[in-house]
Structures are given as structure tokens and as C-alpha cells.
Chains A and B, each alone.
Chain A
């Protein structure tokens, strides 16, 4: 999910402008009364990645592609006794297009706190590596990383934010191969101004990619079956194996008889609005899209939206957005019908279409 943050380099980060060495030195200019900083600080020393594994063993093709890109003709990187360029250290640990799978919950939480507080952009500022032994084709890469430090709030030319430093120990076939300290600035961009050497540009129009996305569902053993159903466009209701009672949302046991046994029933899709609220303020742009009116242009991010408690024909109730009707036309008792909508490239959700037809 690292793409969510959107790396950005707005204005040039001049050395004097960036809060260099900001993690260790200087007065904590934003720390007084900074409750977020106190919360962030608690993540220091916690794991950023545990028992991570490189997606590929060290291999000649990736070495060659690297050398081609860098224009590096060093003879040690070729031939039967080739080693990898030491500066590839981090590359062997990268998640690639399919993303990181080894990040810790603590790291995700830390980023979630920063994202939630508006510090959504990220830029890498420092990389410090020590190379303990050469990496050779065939070496299996494993790594552990720790959140080493979080700085007090710093204001840089890019914007205001927090430096987060992680330290990774990289192993090859179980032997220490290198250390990698990486510092990023997680920041809220400053208002962009043109400066010397910065091409002037029109103010960006509202950016669909920058619109905050809905929170990710928290999927665990107790509800994984529900989300597996959503992925197949099936709304699954739990049915108690003891007393047969239907329940929603998913729970590990029956509220009526306590039985942990259950199976599922697929909702037929018919339902009606049992109750609803219309959210006017504060605006939550992630929930304003897709809009209340079907196929209309993307609504203004601050558009009000209706949240309905829908009673399904099976008798259970579920929260969801009502589409196909303006937010101020949703009514109690209104018939609705289940459908599934993709709200962003990585999330599909059940929605309810007003009218109940189809």
C-alpha cells in the first residue's frame, strides 16, 4: 500500500532548506504540545519488517539490468564469479509492482497515523548502507527492519512533516550481508510556489489520484469469508450451526446460542432502507465517491452523502451507501437492491441501488 502515500518532490529540496539531520539535532520545533509526535514516538524501536524475504534470489539478470541502467561496466559484476553491485542492496528487498508483503503492523500503523493527520506525501531523503559481504547469484535474501527514530515535526521547503528513519539488516543465505538505514520525510506539501529553476505550471486541477481513499477493511480470521464473498460479488450472511439464526456483521460465535459453528447464506440482494443519515460535515472526500447519482461526473469532494442501514430480505441489516438517488431523496422504507462497486483500484464494496429493480 505504499503507493497510497504518493511520493512527491514538489520544490527542490535544497540542502539548507531541508531539515537536515533533523532526526537527531536541533530543537524539536514542533514538539511542544504535539500529541501526534508523542503518538509517533511510541513506534520507535518497533519492528518495521520481520523475517522479510527478497522476492528473488540474487540473480544475474537483475544484476545485468541494473548495470545497464546505471551504465556500470565494472568487471566484477559480470562473468562466472560475478557479484552484485553493492548499491543494489535495497533493490533485493523491494516489494516491486505487487507491493511489500513483509511490513509489520506497527509500520503500517505509523504510516496510518501520519496519513490520517494529513502527512500523506513521502520523499526519500537519506540512504546509508554498509556492505558486509558481496552478494552473489543464488544468495537468498532475508531482512529485518526496525523503526529507528521519528523526528519531531519539521518544516522543510517541501512542507511540514516528520522524518522516519528505519534500519534494516540484510542477510544472504542467513549471513549478515549489509545494513541499510533509510530516512524518509512524510509530509503535508507546502503550497507550491515557483522558484528559480522550477518550471512554472498551472495549479493542478483536483487530482483524482490524490483524493483520499476509503479506509481499508480490516480483514481477519473472523471476517475473511465475508470479504472473500465480496470479491466474488456475493454478500454472505453467517448462519449459526447451532440454532440456525442468521447474523451480520460476521462474528466468531452466535449471539443467541453461543455456538461457534456456522455456515453461510448468500443474500438474494433485495432489501429496504431501515434507517439512514446524510453526512454533510465534516466532508469526507473518500466517501463522496462514487457519487449519489449514478454515472454522474465525480461529485465535489465535499458533497453530502447518505449512509443507509439496509434491512435485507433475509432479515439482517447492513450499512452501506445508497446509489441511484440523490442524497436528500433517500427515505426509510425505500426498496433497494444489492450491487457491487469498485471504489478504487483495490477495493470493491457492496452498495445499494434505490428502486430495488433488477
Chain B
């Protein structure tokens, strides 16, 4: 866990290695309610010109979100996440997620994300997140009914 107090631009997040299993691709597709056959039916994917099933964008988004909150800790609130996909994640490949802090302002940090696999860049993106110190208590996750109290903080803290 890293509070933003100890986070500085240029910090690199420890990489997260994600084995791209068939199970992960299918589980992610179904958990995101994406029933496109190219995400679960290898034969259908081949008929559409893809060598195999491949990960859907929602799963990539979820994995990036997990990578960020795993690193920044339970008081992380993700504000923005923008990702762009490149080389597909096929079964049997491995994706390594990496992150670099690009800006810190108060409790808010911007992180540049890349995820590389055997074919190249699967994902590149930018995240904006806020880490609220536990003693500040008023995080939306832990005190859901106090969300209005946190709103000014969020608006004030979110850089453009």
C-alpha cells in the first residue's frame, strides 16, 4: 500500500504478471456480460479470422482497475480510466501490467499504464485516482452514505 503522500512523479509501480488463460478470458467476458462469440468460442473466433478467442475490452479495463487499487491500497478511489487496446490477449500469452506515476496533486495521482504481451502492447492508458488516508474516514467506499461530504473534495482534487 502506498499513500499518495509517499508517491511522486516518476514512481514506477511493481509490475503485475497476468497469465492469459482461456478461463480468464471466458470468465471475464461473462462477468462483464459480453457474450460476443469471439470471447468464448474458439471455432467461431477462427471462422472470423482470429487465431483464437481473445480478451474483451471490459476485462482489460477490470484488470487495469485491479492493478491500480491493488497497488494504491484499499482507500483508493478511481476517478478516471482511459484505455486503448492494441495487440489482442490470446490464450497462452502473458500480459505484464506496468504503471508510472506521471503527476501528483494533493491526494490525487495520475498513472500511465501499459500492458504488454507476446505480441506487443495490449493496452495503454491513463488513470486518475485519489487516495484518501484512512483517518480522513470519509471515503465513499467505507461510508457510502456520506458521499455528499466528499463531493467538494473530489471536485477540488481532480486535475484536468
Contacts and interface: CB of A to CB of B under 8 A. Distances in A.
A131 B80 contact: yes
A90 interface: yes
A70 B79 contact: no
A198 interface: yes
Nearest to A98: B35
A204 interface: yes
A207 B43 CA distance: 11
Given A97-B35, A134-B144, 7 more contacts: A9-B38, A69-B31, A70-B31, A70-B65, A128-B81, A128-B82, A129-B61
B24 interface: yes
Interface of A: 2-3, 6-10, 12-15, 18, 20, 62, 65-66, 68-76, 81, 83, 85-88, 90-91, 94-97, 121, 123-131, 133-134, 136, 189, 192, 197-199, 201, 204, 207-210
A100 to B, nearest CB: 11
Contact of A69 (B59, B74, B82): B59
B85 interface: yes
B120 A70 contact: no
A189 B59 CA distance: 24
Contact of B62 (A2, A87, A95, A210): A87
B62 A7 contact: no
B12 to A, nearest CB: 20
A9 B47 contact: no
Interface residues on B, range: 35 or more
Interface centre among A2, A62, A129 (most CB of B within 10 A): A129
Interface stretch (B2-10, B98-106, B135-143): B135-143
Contacts of A127: 57-58, 61, 81-83
Interface in B140-158: 140-144, 147
A66 B33 CA distance: 10
A198 B51 contact: yes
Nearest to A184: B57
8 contacts: A12-B120, A14-B86, A72-B65, A76-B141, A81-B142, A88-B62, A127-B82, A204-B47
A94 B84 contact: no
Interface of B: 24, 27-28, 30-39, 44-52, 54, 56-59, 61-66, 69-70, 74, 77-88, 118-121, 124, 140-144, 147
A97 B32 CA distance: 11
A121 B48 contact: yes
A125 B56 CA distance: 10
Contacts of B119: 12, 14, 197-198
Contacts of B143: 81
Contacts of A75: 74
Given A127-B83, A129-B82, A209 B47 contact: yes
Contacts of B45: 8
Which 5 pairs from chain A and chain B are nearest by CB?
A76-B141, A87-B65, A94-B33, A12-B87, A128-B82
B70 A201 contact: no
Interface centre among B39, B69, B74, B118 (most CB of A within 10 A): B69
Contact of B66 (A74, A124, A189, A207): A74
B45 to A, nearest CB: 8
Contacts of B49: 8, 10, 121, 189, 192, 204
Contact of A68 (B27, B51, B80, B86): B27
Nearest to B38: A7
B46 A204 contact: yes
